[in-house]
Amino acid sequence: MESGLLAPVIPATPGPAAELDRLGDEIAELSAHLDAATAHLLDLIREFDARGGWNSGFRSCAAWLSWRVGLDPGAARERVRVARALGTLPRLAQALARGELSYAKVRALTRVATPETEERLLGVGRAGTAEHVERIVRGWRRVDAKAEARETARRHTSRALHVYQDEDGMVVLRGRLAPEVGALLVQALAAAREALYQQRRASDVSAETSLGGVSAETPPLAQQQADALALVAETALHRGIDPGAPGERYQVVVHVDAPALADPEAPGQSVLEDGTRVSAETSRRLGCDASRVVMRHAPDGQVVEVGARTRTVPPALRRALQHRDRGCRFPGCGLPFGQGHHLRHWAHGGPTTLSNLALLCRRHHRAVHEEGYQVDRQPDGELRFRRPDGRLLPAVPPAAAIPADPVQALRARHEAQGLSIHPRTAMPGWLAEPLDVGYAIDVLHPLAAG
d(CA 5, CA 8): 9
Distance CA 403, CA 413 (A): 12
The set of long-range contacts for 418-423, using a CB threshold of 8 Å and a minimum separation of 24, is: 419/36, 419/97, 419/98, 419/99, 421/29, 421/32, 421/33, 421/36, 421/98, 421/99, 422/29, 422/32, 423/24, 423/25, 423/26, 423/28, 423/29, 423/32
Q: Looking at residue 195, what is its pLDDT?
A: 86
| pLDDT on residue 111 | 92
Domain ranges within the chain, ordered by starting residue: 19-155+426-444, 165-241, 254-386
pTM confidence score: 0.63
The pLDDT assigned to 273 comes to 66
Q: Which of 176, 195, 192 shows the shortest CA–CA distance to 225?
A: 192
> For strand 383-386 and strand 374-377, is the pairing parallel, antiparallel, or unpaired?
antiparallel
Contacts (Cβ under 8 Å, ≥6 apart) of 70: none
Q: What is the CA radius of gyration of the chain?
A: 33
Sign, CA torsion 262/263/264/265? negative
Give Cβ neighbours of residue 210 (< 8 Å, ≥ 6 apart).
none
Give residue 443's pLDDT: 84
Q: What is the spatial distance between Cα 48 and Cα 237, in angstroms, rounded to a whole number?
A: 50
63: left (phi over 0), alpha (psi -120 to 50) or beta: alpha
Return the half-sphere exposure (C-beta side, CA atoms, 13 A cut-off) of residue 389: 2
CB 121 within 8 A of CB 112: yes
How far apart are the C-alpha atoms of 329 and 378, rounded to whole Å? 14
Any residues with CB less than 8 A from the CB of 200 and at least 6 apart, and which? 216, 218
Ranges of residues in the chain whose predicted pLDDT is under 50: 1, 211, 244-250
Q: H/E element holding 128?
A: none
pLDDT the model gives residue 247: 43
